[in-house]
């Protein structure tokens, strides 16, 4: 596992592997926070594959940016951003997802993925599981702060973090 990490734009040929990364990362990250029935649902990989197929091929999502991180020819991380989902948003983009295998934390994959899908000059927002101290610390390191907004969906509590580039020095 000594090879370096490469981050690049996601391609249609990556979809099956992206779905596998998505499912495994959810299982690694959310076990004990989300229902095992959701995480172990036999249809979960196919659902994620349909999501990534739409994200990479459907014209409705042409403004999205999707990237993958790979090491030694294997995908180890995925990320996607796009227009804000909140109609009242004051930020330019929203980070929809970023997942890196636990074994690849600390390799630079997360930083590379974030930079690939979010321009540092753009204001942005994201939702992150709470509790998820490692992810929240990662986002704070990259200029995001919790804005006090929270939601609960499917039993998972999430907080919103925002990066307002106008206030950054």
- Please determine, for residue 153, whether its predicted confidence score (pLDDT) is greater than 90: no
Domain with 125, as residue range(s), is: 5-167
Q: At what angle do helices 44-57 and 15-30 cross, to 10 degrees?
A: 130
pLDDT (mean) for 18-25: 98
Give whole-number Cα distances, 69 to 18, 28, 82, 123, in Å. 10, 17, 18, 23
**How many domains, the chain?**
1
**27-36, 49-58, 112-121: the lowest-pLDDT one:** 27-36
2 pLDDT tier (thresholds 50, 70, 90): low
pLDDT (mean) for 42-65: 97
- Please determine, for residue 167, whether its predicted confidence score (pLDDT) is greater than 70: no
pLDDT of 169: 42
Q: What confidence tens digit (pLDDT) does each residue in 96-141 have?
A: 999 999 999 999 999 999 999 999 899 999 999 999 999 999 999 9
Cβ-based burial of 7 (10 A; exposed 0-12, middle 13-18, buried ≥19):
buried
- Tell me what percent of the residues of the chain surpass a pLDDT of 70: 96
Give whole-number Cα distances, 151 to 4, 6, 154, in Å. 37, 34, 10
Give the integer Cα–Cα distance in Å for 93 and 81. 7
The CATH number of the domain holding residue 121 is: 3.40.630.30
Give the integer Cα–Cα distance in Å for 95 and 97. 6
pLDDT of 166: 61
Average pLDDT along the chain: 94
């Amino acid at each position: 596992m000594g090879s370096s990490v490469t981050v690049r734009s996601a391609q249609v040929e990556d979809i099956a592997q992206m779905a596998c990364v998505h499912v495994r990362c959810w299982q690694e990250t959310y076990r004990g926070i989300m229902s095992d029935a959701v995480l172990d649902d036999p249809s979960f990989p196919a659902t994620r594959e349909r999501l990534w197929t739409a994200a990479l091929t459907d014209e409705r999502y042409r403004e999205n940016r999707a990237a993958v991180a790979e090491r030694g020819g294997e995908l180890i991380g995925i990320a996607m951003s796009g227009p804000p989902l909140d109609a009242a948003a004051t930020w330019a983009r929203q980070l929809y997802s970023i997942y890196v295998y636990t074994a690849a934390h600390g390799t630079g994959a997360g930083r590379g993925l974030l930079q690939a899908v979010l321009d540092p000059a753009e204001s942005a927002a994201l939702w992150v599981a709470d509790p998820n101290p490692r992810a929240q610390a990662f986002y704070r390191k990259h200029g995001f702060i919790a804005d006090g907004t929270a939601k609960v969906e499917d039993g998972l509590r999430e907080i919103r973090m925002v990066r307002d580039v106008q206030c950054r020095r």
